[in-house]
Amino acid sequence: MKEHVEIPLREKNIVLIGFMGVGKTTIGQLVAKKLYRDFIDVDQEIEKKQNMPISLIFQKFGEDYFRKIEKEYIVDICTNTRLKVVSLGGGAYLQEEVRNACLSNCIVFLLDLSWDSWRDRMPLLVENRPLLKEKSMEEIEELFIKRQNAYSLHNSKVSTNNLDPETVADEIVNSVKLTWSIYEPNQ
Ligand code: S3P
């Protein structure tokens, strides 16, 4: 087994998790800019690598294949990179290996949104999300609730209810800077 190397807190990647459409990409880009870091959107990188949209990957190769490449890519980012801001796809964190890689190497923020607020955004999201297509509202709500157990394993949580992305990004940046100053005060 590979030896675990402890990454200094200030160099750890910042990982954003949360349900589809909570704003992980938009907020991640803002956080990266505010901290002068590179931003990685896992879904966009997978689309580039596979040269096709996620919806087509699902359609041609199935969800299991997508989950496999998603997991391998995230574990690689978590173990081999530093100083990034990373947005995960909403289902990635359901995989135990992904959670373990994120929690042992990175600072994990949950972008939290209530079901009622999420439901209002739903019409904007369906088109590009294979998992939302052909599902009833009840089934989507079930998925939303079922995923909260995995999402509860994080380092910190920010609510995005009725907040603009800039405000949420500021909250994350302030929280990270506070953590740095408490745990690594002399750097
Ligand atoms: C998924 C979320 C999507 C994308 C894929 C599956 C999910 O990412 O990875 O469609 O299972 O929740 P976003 O969370 O960015 O929409």
Rounded CA separation 130/118 (Å): 17
Given this model, what pLDDT does residue 2 score? 63
**Does 53 contact ligand 1 (Cβ within 6 A)?**
no
pLDDT of residue 1: 60
Instruction: Report whether residue 20 contacts ligand 1, using a CB cutoff of 6 Å.
Output: yes
Compute the distance from residue 91 Cα to the ligand 1 centre, in Å: 6
Q: Which atom of ligand 1 is nearest to the CA of 46?
A: 9
| Helix boundaries (H) for 62-136 | 63-80, 96-105, 115-125
Q: Hey, which bits of the chain come out as E strands?
A: 14-17, 38-41, 84-87, 107-112, 156-159
Question: Which amino acid residue places its CA nearest to atom 16 of ligand 1?
Answer: 20
Q: Any idea what DSSP says for residue 106?
A: S
The two tokens of residue 38 are 């590179």
Ligand 1 centroid–CA 87 distance in Å is 11
From 15, 17, 95, 131, give the residue whose CB has the most ligand 1 atoms within 8 Å, as the site to mutate.
131
**Residue 90 near ligand 1, beta carbon < 6 Å:** yes
Whether the CB-CB separation of 176 and 6 falls below 8 Å is answered with: no
> Residue 127: what pLDDT?
81
Q: Does residue 91's CB lie within 6 angstroms of at least one atom of ligand 1?
A: yes
Q: What is the pLDDT of residue 133?
A: 85
Question: How far, in Å, from the CA of 129 to the mean position of ligand 1?
Answer: 6
Per-residue pLDDT of the chain (187 residues; tens, 9 = 90+): 667 778 999 999 999 999 999 999 999 999 999 999 999 999 999 999 999 999 999 999 999 999 999 999 999 999 999 999 999 999 999 999 999 999 999 999 999 999 999 998 888 888 889 899 888 999 999 999 999 999 999 999 999 998 999 999 999 999 999 999 998 887 7
